Chains A and B, each alone.
Chain A
Amino acid sequence: MRKLAFGLAALTLVGGALTGCSSTSAAGASTSPQEAAAKLKNQTITLVVPFDPGGGYDAYARMVAPKLGDELGATVIVENRPGAGGILATNEVVHAKPDGKTLVLLNGPGHLGAAIAKTNGVLYDAKKMTYIGQISSEPDVLVTSKSSAITSVDDIRGKRFAATGPGSNEYIDAVVLNQQLGMNNQVVTGFKSSNEASLNVIQGNVDLHSRSLGSQQPGINAGDLKPILVIGENTGEKEINGVQNLVDAVKDDQKELATLHTKLISSGRLLAAPPGMDTGTLQAIREAFKKVMTDEAFVKAATDAKRPVHYTSGDDVQKLVNDVMGSPQEYVDLITKAYAG
């Protein structure tokens, strides 16, 4: 009986503590960047990656984290919190304290796309989040198999797109292309990963596949894939040199939407923080981030590691977010369609 009593006691003791304690902390008043920087010294900053380890986001985060830590005199640890295509982690981060100790690496197109489409599960206002800056930006590239008869964007009518599932960047591209080029091409979904979709393009089972340049490069370099169209700003890499751009491929009345979509794609990978960060802390982190991103050695190392960086300041990112979030209804409808499947 004694053991039972202790078991029960253990339970009630712990249960009682639940009601007894609660953590409270007052929001800090606005501080100067110097004070804020001093506050972050020797602290542990968590950089949340809303995806599994091993992907591009994880790799970028792990590349930037130690440098940012050096710059701030703090320890930046990377934490993978995959789920719901990044929405889960973002929902959590917006509720964290905006004290600079929680940062998140966002998938720009996915983050903003979900917010525009107001898809199920989005519990945050993308405009209110605090943006530290952009880490990288690369265009999407539409490819086909090397042996395919398709040679340019004029040949793609009636061909089939491959994509993992609705709401993925590649699916959004397919829906946007269909609308902008006045096509009604089938999108074959259900591939487990974007690499698998790509393999099926190489095999000739499906014709077209659009995803980020970095992911397409190995296939193009191996001679298995050929680029057809660039979606987003052409950054001039040799693989896509001279390839037609979406903005030039569409009719005049579609130019505006094509430009908006270019903006969405070029939002790239964004470093962000919970909403409501005081200006001092924000400035301190933005400064440190800028120093990292403009450090020549870092930029070169990143390029060598096939993870090219592209810096945009937090202010400009905020503007871009506001632009995209203020898109005309036509574009909102289009993106919403791309999430509804």
Chain B
Amino acid sequence: MSTEMIHPAEDADASGSRSRRVHRPDLIITSVLLLVFIVAFLMATGWRDLAAYFPLGVSGMGAIASASFLVRVLFFPPKPHSPEPDVPGAAKSVAEQEYEFFKNLSKRDWITSICWLGGFFIALVIFGIYVAVVAFTAGYLRYQAAKSWWFSWIYAAVLGGVIYGIFEITLKLPLPDGLLGLG
């Protein structure tokens, strides 16, 4: 509709020579979703009447919607848009900016971030929230934000302290305490 004209819905890198080629990410995502809907449909066939009608309908509809989109992706790729004119950054839509931001990241950026996040959540499971938050904060600020150890540890202590104060002392609400029960 109107927004489609403002920011073309399909990949911007489909420039001149590679025009009308199949958009791979969409192909993969749509295929996965189609598979999910088919599996969901098959699972729903195993249930009894009232519990099955709605799931059958929804997964059936989903399968049709994603299959038809798959057809669109495969056989009717959108016409290549004229390469983005020099739109100044501020005029780009936020979705567009976000899309370009994620697109321009290197593999290493992704791996680094996922490792940090993964480390945090593994620590959360084992040592509980306080150790995870303090260790993650101090480490992350020191090595990723290039702050001094002093700053990192104080930030970590304050953050841990505030969480403790709010949840443990004031509200008495449970937080993850880890396999070792350090919470």
Contacts and interface: CB of A to CB of B under 8 A. Distances in A.
Instruction: Judge A-B direct contact (beta carbons within 8 Å).
Output: yes
Interface of A: 1-4, 6-8, 10-11, 13-15, 17-18, 21, 23, 46, 77-79
Contact of B108 (A4, A6, A11, A78): A4
B122 A18 contact: yes
A78 B172 CA distance: 8
Nearest to B143: A6
Contact of B112 (A7, A21, A79): A7
23 contacts: A1-B108, A3-B143, A3-B144, A4-B111, A4-B115, A6-B143, A7-B111, A7-B112, A7-B114, A7-B115, A10-B115, A10-B116, A10-B119, A11-B115, A13-B119, A14-B122, A15-B122, A18-B126, A23-B180, A23-B181, A46-B174, A77-B172, A78-B172
B167 to A, nearest CB: 11
Interface string B104-122: 0000100111111011001
A62 to B, nearest CB: 10
Contacts of A3: 112, 143-144
Interface of B: 108, 111-116, 118-119, 122-123, 126-127, 139, 143-144, 172, 174, 179-181
Interface class of chain A by DSSP: helix
Given A3-B144, A78-B172, 13 more contacts: A2-B143, A3-B112, A3-B143, A4-B111, A6-B139, A6-B143, A14-B119, A14-B123, A15-B122, A21-B180, A23-B180, A46-B174, A77-B174
Nearest to B107: A4
Contacts of B180: 21, 23
B105 to A, nearest CB: 13
Contacts of A2: 143
Nearest to A76: B172
A11 B118 CA distance: 7
A198 B136 CA distance: 50
The 9 closest A-B pairs by CB, nearest first: A7-B115, A10-B119, A7-B112, A6-B143, A11-B115, A11-B119, A14-B122, A77-B172, A14-B123
